[in-house]
Structure 1
Amino acid sequence: MQLGDVPLEAVDTSLYGFAGKVVHPRGMISLPLTLGTASLRKTCLLKFLVVDILLAYNVILGQPTLNAFRAIISTYHMKIKFPIIGGVGETQAEAFQARKCYIEAIKKRKEKKDGRISENRGL
C-alpha cells in the first residue's frame, strides 16, 4: 500500500510470531474497508496496524475485522459471508491468486534465510 506521508496514530505494542519474529508497528491508521460487490457489499471503518516488513500480503484481516462485519468465513470455499440490509453479502477469493500469494510468501522466507533481500517491500 502506498500511504505516503499519512500521519499514523502512535501505538505501544508489538506483534509476536508475525512473519517469524517480533514486529514493532510504525503506527495505526483508520481506513474504510469494503467487502463484496455491487449491491451485496458492506463498508466498515477499521483500524490497521502499519508494519514495514517483507510479506506477500498487503493486509491481514483478523478477528476484529471479522467481528466488525459480523462475518462468517469458509476456508474450504475461500469465501466470506456477512449480513447486509435485506440480505447476505459475500466475497470470494480466487484459488490462483491465493496460491500465488502462498508461493510468494514461501519464496520470501527462503530469501530471508539465504540472506538475500527482495526489492519488493510490503507494509
Structure 2
Amino acid sequence: YQMLDDVNHPDGKIGAKRQTASLYDILPPAADKKLSPPGEWNTSKIVVKGTHIEHWLNGAKVLEVDLASDTFKTARAASKFKDAAGFAENAKGRLMLQDHGDETWFRNIRLKAL
C-alpha cells in the first residue's frame, strides 16, 4: 500500500502504479479514488484474507487482487519486483512502515486478526 503526495512527489508523476493506494509498481488504484490534499488526513485500510488483498482509501475500496491470480502474476512480472524471489509469498509476517526521507505522519494504526 503506497502512501504518497501524488501531486508533488516525483514518484506520483511516474504513473498510477506509484501513487497512493497502489500496490506499489504492480497495480494501480481506481482512477476515481478520493484523495485528500497534502496537509489533510487520509484514511487507509488494507484487508488481507489468505491471498486476497483489498486496498481502501477514505472509505472506498480502490484496489482488489488475489495474489494467486494470473492478473497479479502478470502485473508482478512487468514490475520492478519481477526478479525478487519470494516476493508477496509470505503468509504471515510483520507490518513495516517505510519512508524514503520525506516527512510522514501516521495516527491511529490498528491491526485486527480476521
Work out whether the TM-score is over 0.5: no
Structure showing greater radius of gyration is 1
More strand as a share of residues: 1
Query: Larger relative CO (CA 8 A, sep 6+): 1 or 2?
Result: 1
Q: Tell me the TM-score normalised to structure 1 length.
A: 0.28
